[in-house]
Structure 1
Amino acid sequence: MTAGYLFFSGGACALLLLAAAKVSLNHHRLAAGRWLILVLVGVICYLLWPTLPPMPPAGAFLINLPIFLVPAAFWLFTHLLCREEEPFPRWGWIPIGLAIALSIFAKYAPSSLASGAQTLLFNLSQLLSMGLVGAGMLTLLGQFHSDLVEERRRLRAILLIAVGVYMLIVIGAEFLFTYHPVPHGVPTLHALLASLLSLAACLWLLALSPSALGESLPPSATPAEEKISPPAQAPSPDEQQQAQMRKLQAHMHNGGYRQTGLTIRELAEQLDTREHLLRILINRHLGYRNFNEYLNQFRIDEASARLADPEQAHLPVLTIALDIGYRSLSPFNAAFKRRHNLTPTEYRRQRLPT
């Protein structure tokens, strides 16, 4: 291993350890924080692995296991970061389990296994790992404009552009160089890129925006508690903000939320205000972290009343969902069940017994 790789990878590992210590001290009790720590530890192990001497199988497995877990941990972290109101999909554990199992088996396959079969296992594990990273990147991209937490929007962009692309490049390069010799200087270039990203992450976490990660990660409170109570540290709105809040609430109570596909930009235009000011108002003074959840508060209130109204018992649930602004039944059912822990049909059946 070249001196350049040793120098840059050592620097990257030191910086990543510093970042992991920062996250561990402040956010180890949050699931999202623990998954992020696992991502950082996995990257450290990945950079250290080429520099380590031969070791017993058990030791090698302990070093490699965090590496195998990085793509899955990245997806789980992005889901908790961006989709805090939704549980992780059960089907997601299937590709995660397959990717981890195939990565382990490809690395520690029995020597009696044909080389062609080993190559196939490795290729499948790499494709699945790229799929997990891609799923994490799609999660970061999804509902980006609905996110009301400014620091989290910035973190999404950083993770999407820097970390996600970097991980895809690394996995793709491993896949490519399995069949072609590694060009001279590529490992050193990789270590240099990793050290630059690690330096940028530490500067952001420790100097430029030390509170950003704490504001971005989902709080320990339940979504319902979080929506009802605005943050305790939020300053009182000034007169202009109070006037804007009254205007906003009047518009929504008059049915502004019923517009299908309503975005915060469109709502700002309807209220003749700037989008970033509206984001601050809804986030800091009304206590919502996601614009769709703010809309859902009004929509589910109306749906609940209409489902419990005997005069509207003949209306299909889909009709009510479309009337209050949903494009289809699936997101309405999900939002309704998060509120009442019942499907709309079950709720109506309880409120309107035959």
Structure 2
Amino acid sequence: METFDNLMRYGSISLLFWLAVLICRDFRCHVRGKLGVALALSQIVYLVSTKVDPIIGGFSFGAMLIPLCFPGTAFAWLFCLSQFDDHFNMKRWHWGVVAAQFATGFVTMVGLIGGQGEITSVGFATSKLITLATLIHLVLIIWQGRQDDLMESRCVFRRMFVTAVVVLSVAILVAETFLVDRGFDELLLVVQSSAFFIITFFVLWRISGPDGIDLFVFSDPAVSEPPTVVPVEDKHDLDALRRVITDKAFLEQGLTIAGLADQLRMPEHRLRRLINQQLGFRNFSDFLNHHRVSVAQERLADCAERHVPVLTIAMDLGYGSLGPFNRAFKERTGQTPSEYRRQFLSDLEMAS
């Protein structure tokens, strides 16, 4: 069993290292690429530290790796989040979670080196709580955006990858809490290394394909050029969709792709393909925000509506609150709605 574990473990380390090299070579300028490299390297450290404990001069160097292992769950969480948000950027609180995991790892290391079991237990327990919180947050984000992705191949991969990450993370949490030092250690190491090998091989296989770039790079804005020639079988459906856009049916609050498909009396899978392949949108939220922001720009530039609160405009456009409207507007114009209105009215006054 140990031979099989070594085969899977060192195979996983080799694959993870090669994955980090490929990502660094092709996607190092993108936030998803940086997160992918950080995730791969942190998992290499984890695989080494859970198997090998080099002792030199009576000092355990394995313990020194612990602070570098703990942020791995945070990087996995962030990489998964970035896959479900075409406009993902690292925020301060994201870095805060990474720092918190590093800090718990440092506390654990101090406890192990000093032989202080209580400090070690506090470090491990705190890290597990943070990991559990990030997993719950990730599952909620996935559930909320489960119908949003319009690219079927990317959608399938994302679900499989994130499911594997969540299952593996939960399994590690359970094993480290209830099964370590209870006679299952050898079996746990084999399962651990095998799971890492399978997931890493799967990711490498995926990014080597023609659509691999979608894991790390998304167009900005998230709209690609639609084809110049529309197939005959799509023409009537596309005309119907454009009529719905002209009638501003996209302003309905809480509109989903299933709801829009019902309005058009069209199968949902066909509507997904139509919006993606004929209109060039990768994500249903981008499709909605693209048209809603266009209407918002018209209203914010209308002198007759200069005293209408931005919140009122946001609600009229189908947003449930001001925050999502501000984010969508700024992503597409580089300004908040209030800044856009102020600048437009100022330019209009100077022109007159």
TM-score (norm. length: structure 1) = 0.83
Which stretch of the first structure deviates more once superposed, 188-197 or 101-110?
188-197
* Paired residue type of 2:101: A
* 1:274 aligned partner: 267
* 1:195 aligned partner: 194
Q: Does 1:243 align with 2:236?
A: yes
Question: 1:24 Cα shift?
Answer: 4.9
Structure-2 separation of matches of 1:147 and 1:207: 17
Structure-2 separation of matches of 1:138 and 1:194: 28
Structure-2 separation of matches of 1:349 and 1:171: 52
Native 8 Å contact 1:336 1:344 kept in 2: yes
Structure-2 separation of matches of 1:200 and 1:53: 25
User: What CA deviation, in whole Å up to 9, does each residue of 1:186-226 have, x standing for no partner?
Assistant: 5424523542563365257438982343233333x4x23x4
* 1:342 aligned partner: 335
Aligned pairs, how many? Answer: 345
1:316 to 300, 305, 309: 309
Question: 1:126 Cα shift?
Answer: 2.4
Q: Which runs of 5+ in 2 are unaligned?
A: none
Native 8 Å contact 2:111 2:119 kept in 1: no
* 1:213 aligned partner: 212
Structure-1 separation of matches of 2:69 and 2:48: 11
Q: Does 1:95 align with 2:97?
A: yes
Question: 1:262 Cα shift?
Answer: 0.7
Aligned-pair RMSD on alpha carbons? 3.1
Distance 1:38 1:112, change over 3 A: closer
Q: Does 1:171 align with 2:173?
A: yes
User: What CA deviation, in whole Å up to 9, does each residue of 1:15-64 have, x standing for no partner?
Assistant: 54555555455544433133223323333332333442524569546754
Which stretch of the first structure deviates more once superposed, 241-250 or 264-273?
241-250
Question: 1:284 Cα shift?
Answer: 2.4
Q: Does 1:125 align with 2:127?
A: yes
* 1:260 aligned partner: 253
Matches within 5 A, 1:155-166: 155-166=157-168
Question: 1:130 Cα shift?
Answer: 3.0
Which stretch of the first structure deviates more once superposed, 262-271 or 198-207?
198-207
Structure-1 separation of matches of 2:188 and 2:115: 34
Structure-2 separation of matches of 1:9 and 1:125: 24
| Percent sequence identity over aligned pairs | 28
Structure-2 separation of matches of 1:193 and 1:320: 52
Question: 1:251 Cα shift?
Answer: 1.0
Q: Which runs of 5+ in 1 are unaligned?
A: none
Matches within 5 A, 1:28-107: 28-56=28-56, 60=62, 63-107=65-109
Q: Equivalent residue of 1:350, what SS?
A: helix
